Structure 1
């Protein structure tokens, strides 16, 4: 550095000679070295008292030049022109703003010019400041504003005021459609929008459409800034409202504020996206919790590690994703963070796919105005580290145990070997003398892991006896060769046990030996399995004999039901023949009731004969047949009655079916005989409901809309045969009977299913 400093100082003195008092003065117009004229430049400067300017000051002025019409030269062009020394200077009076005058005082620059040959550092400090001001001026030169105003006088006045401040006004739009087109064309830095415009589109709608395709600040101008107008414009997110007539001070203040705010927001968004991208690119997980230990943010890498989407994690307590045994430790660490301590702990996390995940949480608390508001943590995946540590610990324990074993005395080793030999002898004796055949196998798979065969490792004597195969003929050989079968017998079952470790048991007919075997399979180790089997051929034959006997009995029972049904039919036919010779109406009625009772009992046997189950019948279909046959036997009332059925599906044992059928028969018979007397007005209605209840109970309700049972008649004490039969059959069923005289008569039978 010290070697090159004299060379650099000499070059800098030559550079300063370009800005001599003869070459540059208070203001300057600069032309390019090629002779082509450059638009006149305004140098913001103040006159020097001695008629010339110091080199740093002139250089500063050159860097701060701005063109009329908001055009500017780049810093590279200015520096290039100054290096060539081809600038022509004409005096032009100008004043520098107060802050620049304070910085560039003539006395200071004169002093600096005298000392620059000795020190370059003051010039570098000034140069950096000038570069920042040039960048600021260039940004101001790019400020482009579009005015949307249908009053041309107001728009022209605003344009004049803005251009006087250096803003560029490329277009004035009178209608909302024109404003949208101008924004698409010029991409302005700001839009001044009148709310009430000519044409069908107002300023609010135009702003709403503009905001859909470009991010540009919008300032509304209106003569009526009432609550309704402001409320309608709020969703377009305006940066300010200006009331007409617009004051210049308010106009410039709001424009400057809006531009500054928009640039700040844009930088903030850019910064946020940059830092968010940085956070999301980090393989570690960034997580934030509030003061209630609820997750408020977690970085995207958490999805790959935990298996949960970010949306399923945010908003939930962090303890929900932690192994329960570690929650007290986590809460203790959280309390330390609440107290202001930084912590570093290791936790076992619950993943969605069940993978064991360990993380190291490096956490620090967040305080706002000395109030704890939450924590921020970095979670590092240490699962592999944990596994390595556990494996290392396990191997260390194994090594220590092995060393302890080696350190034992020879006596202990001999005793252990003796016990091992005794146990091995016991297992060998059990394997040798067990009454079931047994064999030990190893599964064989191809390169893709598909089972293809199994090796017979060992067999016991009972295996030899049952199969006729000798140990020396099968040991160490593949099953396909031993059994002359490809694939070998029961490969699927054996492979499933050997590869999953789940035991199975099945019965099978082994055709080559014409024997039935019950085979139990279990896996003592991966890819190995043991089979134990017993000959159940005699049992299978006995079962076949029993099954044949049961089929014969079933046929016999069906025949009995058929014959009983036929006998009931014979009795009905005899009663019908006898009934034809009876001339007494009461006696005819008695015969009819007796026939209905017999028909109800015969129907049970008919249903049993027609179904596969000889012990239970379908109660709804049984009741429907009884009810319809009873209605048909009483043509005067039955054929005119409306039948309403609500029957839930229920199966009834044969021992309960006959009493239930007789009870229903007697109740319906009384209904058809007495409910609808000749003086009854209206259409007869009979309702039958059957519902199941709690405790395996069933309730059957039979009601009508007839004249009702007289108050003097008590079903429990009535002396009629029908009601006496109902009472006795209910006792046989263990049922309860209740009746209601409201709006006719309703009997309800409730009993427990067998």
Structure 2
């Protein structure tokens, strides 16, 4: 890791240079020394240090507290104040800058080193926490946006699904789009490519008192339309987004001049297409003072256009086939049923029930979802077999996969006479339609419908199936988006709850440890700051181990090895090396239990390093873990040292470490500990794993 950069702010040059030498001797980098508050601000912005040691009393008009305030306004850097003055007024002013520490002169370098390390560690932990909070905040905002779009699309679906008359439907579409998107004008065009005519131009009525400007001119001819974004969208069959105040090469000079004269801002055009055939466009435009459209608007308007295309085709079929009123009314009711639910099982059941209602001679209908190049069975309705032969699953080179991959409907009047089913089972005398369920160009699934006998499918039946399939595809897509949004929101909530739980556990453990230390301090015992740092580092070790196990229960033997090894690494000068033996065990512990056990194992390992390693020729540590009855875990920790003092065994004297061990096992794990001597010190623990 790179050395931490520390900026020294001290107006006494001798003191500053001496401090610099001491800091560099303990592997810190001092890029500069500032002698005044102004220099402190300047050199902070020049060197961007990892930490600042700031003397409060500085020469000049700006003291260290004011310099710290100005620095913190510009740079997120921990600041430790150094001063020989401890008056309450100065201390209160310093507190307002939220310093990372406060060191009184004169100071010991060991105390200064500890203060610096704690400040750097806390600052890094705070930085990671802020990053985590920002990440989950973005996830929440994205989930909220997706949920809002899904709800808007759902409301749009309900709105257009309840309109049968084609002119009313088109007007309803543009009005609904204008209410959903930040657009002052929405235009729907239907085109006849054979005659090269604009069949219909529908614009939104004034919304919330907004009047369309009189200067707005719509294209009069098909040729003029082809010169703009609409022509480009029709040719390429994909959306076009044109920001404001930026010449768009897809527009002719005449179109750009008209757009500028009308003071039109951003323009978004999406195709209206049915079965990959474009028959019109849906355009949203805003004014210059409004923000540009973004990709979220593109996706939402495209989804609305897909539903609009299906709805327009539905309305046209209704107008052109009055003799099929009964069938089309059933389709309409099926559409209402499908679009009124976002639960996928309900949607699929409604699809298959609609097939049976519309085609009573259907013996079986099956829906497969198409995901990642594979067909997954979703639902079926009807018989399970024909004669003695069961309906087979789709083959990768069969009809159903072909439909999913090409997006084209396959119609078979008689399976026995079709080359794709040559030499198939003679009992199979049925007709079949395999229909892709598509949203735009994307196939979401395949619906297979089987007629009970060879049957030439009529245009009316195929038209009804296609209509139902398109509506079903849109409903499935809505259900999928809704379920994805719900899962994302649930995942985000679970992640936040998990983080909150883990932070509380760690804080509770540290607070408990500090209370235990406070208790021993009250009894007159001294506290070693290095021991306190070691305990916190042990908690960091188990945190990393739990993260590697994705916060699932982890093997206790692995935890013991890691914690003991971490304690040994913190005493690199101990000789001879300690031989550690941890017997393998299937026992696992929960994250909360692991945190408590970490403190216990660290204290015992530290005790070996302090009291056994200096006297034993070959210091050994043995850890044995056994599962007992009634879900009790037995853990034995023993060494080959001189053993526990008799006063400790009699409980007439208790050191900080052993007091902490006894507190954690009793209060944290609801267990017991027995200390004894047998060829060294032996500690027997009995506890039940904690259920979080």
Question: What TM-score do you get using the length of structure 1 for normalisation?
Answer: 0.28
Say which one has the larger Rg: 1
Higher relative contact order (CA 8 A, sep 6+): 2
